[in-house]
Amino acid sequence: MNEVLKAVGNIFLKMPKGFVVTFKHLFKKPITLDYPRKKNPMTARYRGKHYLERYDDGTERCVCCGLCAAACPADAIYMEPEENEKGERRAKMYEINLLRCIFCGFCEEACPEEAIFLGQVYEFSEDNRNSFIVGKDDMLVPHPRKDNPLKRIYRRVRRVYGVTDKSK
Amino acid sequence: MILTQESIQEIKEKTAKYPRKKSGILPALTVAYRQLGYVDDEIYHEISKVIKVPYVEIAEAATFYTMFPKKSRGKYLIQVCHNISCALLGADSLISYLEDKLGIKKGETTADNLFTLISVECLGSCSTAPMMQINHDFHENLTREKVDGILETLRSEA
Amino acid sequence: MAEATKKDMPTETAENMVTLTINGRETTVPKGTTVLQAAKELGVHIPTFCWHPKLKPVGACRMCYVEVEKMPKLQVSCALEVMDGMVVHTDSDTVKQGRKAIIEFILLNHPLDCPTCDKGGECDLQNLTFAHGVDDSRFEFQKYRFVDEGMTTTFDDRRIGPEIILNRNRCILCYKCVRANKEAFGEYDLGVYERGSIAEINAAPGEQVDNPFSGNLVEICPVGALTNSDWRYKIRVWLTSTTPSICNYTSSGINTLFFKENHHNKIYRVTSRPSDDIDDGWLPDVTRYGYQIVNSPDRLTTPLVKKEGKQVEATWEEALEIIGKRFGEIKERLGGVCVGALVSPGLDNASLHAASRLMRVGFKSNNIDFRGDYRYLPESSESPFMRLCSRPFKIADIDDSDVIVTFGSDLIREHANEYLRIRKAFNFGNARIFAVNPYQTKSADVSSLELVYLPGTEESVVNGICLAAIEDNLVDAKRGEKFKLKTPTKSSAEAAKVSGVDRESLRTVAEALAEGKKITFFTGEIITRSRQRDLIASALINLHRLFGLKGRAQMSALARYANSKGAEKLGLLPNPRTVVVDKLRGLWGEYPESPARNTDAMMALIKKEEIKGFLILGSNPVMLYPDREFVKEGIEKLDFLVVADLFETETTELADVVLPLASWAEYEGYYVNLEGRTQKAARAVKPIGQAKPGYEIASLIGEALDPEMFQNEQQIHSEVRQLLELDSVIAYPDDFLEVKADTDGSQGDYNLPLYIIDDWHHSGHLTEKAPSLANFASEPYIEIPPQLASELKIAHGDSVRVESEVGKVILPARISEHTQNNVVLVPRNFSSSNVTSLLMRKKRVDRVKISKVDE
């Protein structure tokens, strides 16, 4: 009988004591992220999915020199050059196999034309392996850029003063 | 043929002296230049036929020397030295002064066909820099005033 | 490029040697050697841009600076001759500083467009900048720019020839291209104009750089100023790997290097693999660009089998089953002698030998030949002409010959490599060079005297030379008497009249032959193709005997194709020499006794329906045999024809079974060049589609007939080795030979001699499939001497009707640059020209008449 009373007493005395911790956390700010709706801002030098830059007049910066492919430790880059209408060199085919890529950023370092950059995009899951081989069309930034004028000014500021862009 | 029979004859005589045909290029060009006042692609071809040296060799030699212009020049050819000694003593400003004065750019000829202005490498008169050569005469230790005077004299002579 | 060898240096004798010290190491070299060469011999590397082992030094780039003690300034080692007691430093601080300054100077106006430059990765300037240069420029002004109209400020690529692209901004003015063009090739279509910082290399105005050696200019350019469209923007050099190979279009066996990429199974370019004994490191364009046929999309990839009159794709099994059945049937019903074979002299030794084995063991037939484009071939392999062919010849010996005679050879079209050798002897040596031809050729540029004889009078020319020597007592009188007994021609004047060569010229040649210490005398295709080649060869053998050339001359009829010599040695002829026959009998235990037939005889028998089955490996007789009707009619009558080739050709059209043949780049093969030197062409890529090499095709056909016929590939190779070891030289006869002048008789209306030639940039029937070579010439034409053209009022490009007794074709005209006398030339390389339909096999000289087609 005594033991029964002791057990009942425990329920009312010790359980609330334990729940205090639980209820305390209810009112704290959560440390997890509401992921698909909210996204984590990446660090400025995060190395995500590659993109290919253009000149201001829209011509591709990439001349298909092959230095990124030569620098790539994972042998993830494949390219084929061709001649454009003026007789200048440009890429006919530029492919990166994102499954092989180790996102080391050597291609960005090697590029003499400042054409390839590793961007902030990290969401590129696919349901088949072939889709991970991304071509030139997937990587070239659109021309003219679709984003708003403020962003354009911001990018110029970034270029001039070395401030990093967090949106791309 | 643009070259006259006399010129061709003279070229043949002069080049016959050389054991190698190629040596005859400069004498032949000189004869042609004296007749025409210029030597262009067409003349190279004619000379090439006369002295039987490949066309390219003649074009190479002719374009190397400033003495064989492709277009005819004015009565007075002003050659200003732009090499080191003259450059240090103001050949560049002298050239631009001449350009302003004559109203032409380097390499051009005045409208009255009197003066042609070019700049050349060292003419071997460094001790008296800056200097220029007009036709066959040297004019040394030049100043702007001196240039004015020279041009005046030439104009009046012409 | 090749290391300078001892051969390029003056001869070594004790008093001719000089001792000097380079980097503390003493060395002794012959007088006249340059410091650079001496250092190279020692293994000391000195960087250079403008130096080329086969050209005279100019000292234009000044990269090869060395410090010589007691000399106040740095010296250019490429132009500095060695002197006794010289102390040279190539690696001192002063030298390093000098090099650094030179690199900085060269880079002043050099654009930084390495990423778009095709030379990137193999550029001398890039490499030497990394090794010796500075990392920054002190030049703060605008770089000088050549800009073409409508181009951006750095871009100045312009085509200066069908293949060559020039970028003047990248040029560092080493003059290597201009020097090579003038010195080594004797071409004057490229020059340096202006001077100082605006000096530029360019094509002569209005001209194209389209000479048959122009590809070399691209190869020797130390920077990316000269590039070609073959390699333009295709692949980076570091992605390719190399395979040594040899040229399949010329008989010299020019050493080449394939640049290939394994993932794509594709060859990207060919460069030289300098060999001083053979090619000096120069490649003719046909060698350089001819590899493109390997990558051609038109290649045959599967066997084709004729079903209901149409060729349809089939598998190898099907094709072989049909072949086994049909050939077996013919063999059983009529005997193996009713089967014949024609193989291409471009195939390797193993393929040739396998074919020979197939015919001689499998069919017990002697009907096999490798010469598909010559008429009236010698029956016996010991005929005078075959004797002449078998004589030893060394390409490198041309260099120090003091008399060189080329007889009946449009040299640059047939033996481009030997042409360059002769040009070298002409430039550097004091050789007397004679070109004896029925029409003026470009060889005239490098000849002290050019003899032009009337077409079809070759033996009179040779007799004329001999008689002139006898008359002027240049040779032993006793021998002269004997010679006269055998020759109906009475005097050199008579010979001169018949041949149209003046007696003075004949005498000059005779004099040179009598005096020469080291003579090179060879004949070319004009003799080989002549129906009277045996007669001419007899005359030449007489000449050899009369002048006592033994021991002081190399005299030979040069082989024309990559492996003609090998085919000759392996007994691919109907009647091989007794040594070869004995050897084959020993190897196989049997040798057919059946009558032997050469190409002509086989074709005649096919026409008579005595040969029923035929196998052609890589040859195209319908296009190349000098009587199209004769061959075509015959081949159409065949019961069963098997053709293996790389492409669909005029001959494969008529075949019952077509097999895809692998090209020389696709399997390992050994080839014998015209000197008798066996060289290897390694396998660069996998065979395209289901193509198979010749020896595999021959052994598969053999197996289809009799499963036990071929044991293995090793057996073929060992047999080939044993056959090649046999001594191939056939001695000359002991007495003078009878030489009776032959004439073709009257030709009526058709009086204009026609010669079939190779285009400058083509060889044989395959090269028109190479796009780069097609850029130079892709259409057939007729080359007409200027005088005749003006008589007939024919201008360049006009359509000309060419008629012979048997045929008629219409070709656009081209005014000849070299030929002056009344002879017309038509290239045989274009299948659309149908030129062989003009020819008759009985003719010694083909004659035509031409007229302008009125529009």
Q: Are C343 and C619 in contact (CB under 8 A)?
A: yes
CB contact under 8 A, B55 and C193: no
How far off is chain B from C192, nearest CA to CA, in Å? 6
Chain C residues 184-203 with a CB less than 8 Å from chain B: 188-196
CB contact under 8 A, C195 and B63: yes
The chain-wide mean pLDDT, for chain C, equals: 90
How far off is chain A from C207, nearest CA to CA, in Å? 21
CB contact under 8 A, B60 and C193: yes
How far off is chain B from C202, nearest CA to CA, in Å? 10
Residue B17 DSSP class: T
CB contact under 8 A, C204 and B57: no
Instruction: Report pLDDT for A147.
Output: 65
CB contact under 8 A, B60 and C192: yes
Instruction: Report pLDDT for A156.
Output: 66
Question: Residue C828 contacts by C-beta under 8 Å, 6 or more apart in sequence?
Answer: C623, C624, C756, C757, C758, C765, C835, C836
CB contact under 8 A, C191 and B121: no
Q: What value of ipTM does the predicted structure carry?
A: 0.85
Query: What are the tens digits of pLDDT across the range C656-670?
Result: 999 999 999 999 999
* Residue C668 contacts B, CB cutoff 8 Å: no
Name the 3-class secondary structure at C518: coil
How far off is chain A from C220, nearest CA to CA, in Å? 22
pLDDT of C575 above 90: no
* Residue C237 contacts A, CB cutoff 8 Å: no
Instruction: Report pLDDT for C5.
Output: 43
pLDDT of C574 above 90: no
* Residue C147 contacts A, CB cutoff 8 Å: no
Instruction: Report pLDDT for A152.
Output: 66
Name the residue ranges covered by the structural domains of chain C.
6-91, 144-295, 304-380+563-659+671-725, 394-557, 752-852
Q: Which residues of chain B have pLDDT under 50?
A: none
Task: Count chain A–chain C contacts defined by CB atoms under 8 A.
Answer: 34
Task: Count chain B–chain C contacts defined by CB atoms under 8 A.
Answer: 26
Query: What are the tens digits of pLDDT across the range C272-309?
Result: 999 999 999 999 999 999 999 999 999 999 999 999 88
How far off is chain C from B9, nearest CA to CA, in Å? 26
Name the 3-class secondary structure at A52: strand
* Residue C114 contacts A, CB cutoff 8 Å: yes
Residue A168 — pLDDT band, cuts 50, 70, 90? Answer: very low
Instruction: Report pLDDT for C832.
Output: 86
Name the residue ranges covered by the structural domains of chain B.
5-64, 76-157
* Residue C115 contacts A, CB cutoff 8 Å: yes
Beta pairing partners, C782: C813
Instruction: Report pLDDT for A165.
Output: 46
pLDDT of C382 above 80: yes
Cα–Cα distance, C667 to C658 (Å, whole number): 20
pLDDT of C371 above 50: yes
Q: Name the residue in chain C with its Cα closest to that of A63.
A: C116
Instruction: Report pLDDT for C746.
Output: 61
How far off is chain A from C260, nearest CA to CA, in Å? 15
Q: Which of C190, C195, C204 sits opposite B64 (nearest CB)?
A: C195
SS3 per-residue string spanning C364-382: CCCCEECCCCCCCCCCCCC
pLDDT of C166 above 90: yes
> Which of C177, C192, C209 should be substituted to probe chain B, the one whose Cβ sees the most B Cβ atoms within 10 Å?
C192
Q: Name the residue in chain B with its Cα closest to that of C205.
A: B41
Instruction: Report pLDDT for C369.
Output: 93
Percent share of chain C, pLDDT over 90: 68
Chain B residues 118-137 with a CB less than 8 Å from chain C: 121
* Residue B92 contacts C, CB cutoff 8 Å: no
CB contact under 8 A, B63 and C188: no
How far off is chain B from C760, nearest CA to CA, in Å? 21
Q: Which of B41, B54, B64 sits opposite C205 (nearest CB)?
A: B41
Cα–Cα distance, C199 to C201 (Å, whole number): 7
Query: What are the tens digits of pLDDT across the range C555-569?
Result: 999 999 999 999 999
Q: Which CATH superfamily is domain C394-557 in?
A: Dimethylsulfoxide Reductase, domain 2 (3.40.228.10)
Name the residue ranges covered by the structural domains of chain A.
50-140
Q: Which residues of B touch C190 (CB under 8 A)?
A: 56
Q: How far is CA C774 from CA B8, C760, C768, in A?
A: 42, 11, 6
**Position of tokens 């009022």?**
C793
CB contact under 8 A, A83 and C120: no
Phi and psi at residue C192, in whole multiples of 5°? -110, 125
Q: Which residues of A touch C152 (CB under 8 A)?
A: 86, 88
Instruction: Report pLDDT for C48.
Output: 94
Instruction: Report pLDDT for A148.
Output: 66
CB contact under 8 A, C205 and B56: no
Cα–Cα distance, C583 to C619 (Å, whole number): 27
Q: Name the residue in chain A with its Cα closest to that of C118.
A: A65
Cα–Cα distance, A71 to A65 (Å, whole number): 12
Q: Which amino acid is at B121?
A: E
> For the domain A50-140, what is the CATH code?
3.30.70.3270
> Tokens representing C514?
């009598």
Instruction: Report pLDDT for B121.
Output: 87
Q: Which of C115, C157, C232 sits opposite A67 (nearest CB)?
A: C115
> Tokens representing A19?
């729940």
Across C593-619, average pLDDT: 90
Query: What are the tens digits of pLDDT across the range C317-370?
Result: 999 999 999 999 999 998 888 999 999 999 999 999 999 999 998 889 999 999
Cα C577 to chain centroid distance, Å, stands at 27
> Tokens representing C778?
């892709």
Phi and psi at residue C790, in whole multiples of 5°? -70, -30
How far off is chain C from B60, nearest CA to CA, in Å? 5
Q: Name the residue in chain C with its Cα closest to that of B60.
A: C193
Q: Which of C116, C151, C239 sits opposite A63 (nearest CB)?
A: C116
Cα–Cα distance, A116 to B154 (Å, whole number): 64
pLDDT of C719 above 50: yes
Instruction: Report pLDDT for C613.
Output: 93
Pick the CATH number of B76-157 from 3.40.50.2300, 1.10.1740.110, 3.40.30.10, 3.40.50.1370: 3.40.30.10
CB contact under 8 A, B63 and C190: no
Cα–Cα distance, C615 to C641 (Å, whole number): 6
C neighbours by CB contacts (3+ pairs under 8 Å): A, B
Q: Which residues of B touch C206 (CB under 8 A)?
A: 41
The correct answer on CATH 3.40.50.740 for the domain covering C304-380+563-659+671-725 is: yes
Residue C745 — pLDDT band, cuts 50, 70, 90? Answer: low
Q: Name the residue in chain B with its Cα closest to that of C196.
A: B64
> Which of B43, B53, B56, B63 should be substituted to probe chain C, the one whose Cβ sees the most C Cβ atoms within 10 Å?
B56
Instruction: Report pLDDT for C84.
Output: 92
Q: Name the residue in chain C with its Cα closest to that of B121.
A: C196
CB contact under 8 A, C157 and A112: no
**Position of tokens 């005029």?**
C650
> For the domain C144-295, what is the CATH code?
3.30.70.20
Query: What are the tens digits of pLDDT across the range C496-526?
Result: 998 999 999 999 999 999 999 999 999 999 9
Higher pLDDT, C490 or C238: C238
Q: Which of A82, A112, A113 sits opposite C233 (nearest CB)?
A: A82
How far off is chain A from C115, nearest CA to CA, in Å? 5
**Position of tokens 């009529």?**
C334
Taking the model in full, what pTM does it have? 0.89
Residue C395 — pLDDT band, cuts 50, 70, 90? Answer: very high
Residue C3 — pLDDT band, cuts 50, 70, 90? Answer: very low
Q: How far is CA C179 from CA C213, C284, C541, in A?
A: 13, 17, 40
pLDDT of A167 above 60: no
Higher pLDDT, C814 or C195: C814
* Residue C157 contacts A, CB cutoff 8 Å: yes
> For the domain C6-91, what is the CATH code?
3.10.20.740
Q: Which of B56, B64, B121 sits opposite C188 (nearest CB)?
A: B56
Cα–Cα distance, C756 to C375 (Å, whole number): 13
> Which of A61, A64, A65, A68 should be substituted to probe chain C, the one whose Cβ sees the most C Cβ atoms within 10 Å?
A65
Instruction: Report pLDDT for C705.
Output: 86
How far off is chain C from B134, nearest CA to CA, in Å? 22
Cα–Cα distance, B70 to A58 (Å, whole number): 43
Q: Which of A65, A80, A87 sits opposite C115 (nearest CB)?
A: A65
DSSP structure string for C617-678: ES--HHHHSS-HHHHHHHHHT-SEEEEEESS--TTGGG-SEEEEBPPTTSS-EEEE-TTS-E
Chains B and A touch (3+ CB pairs under 8 A): no
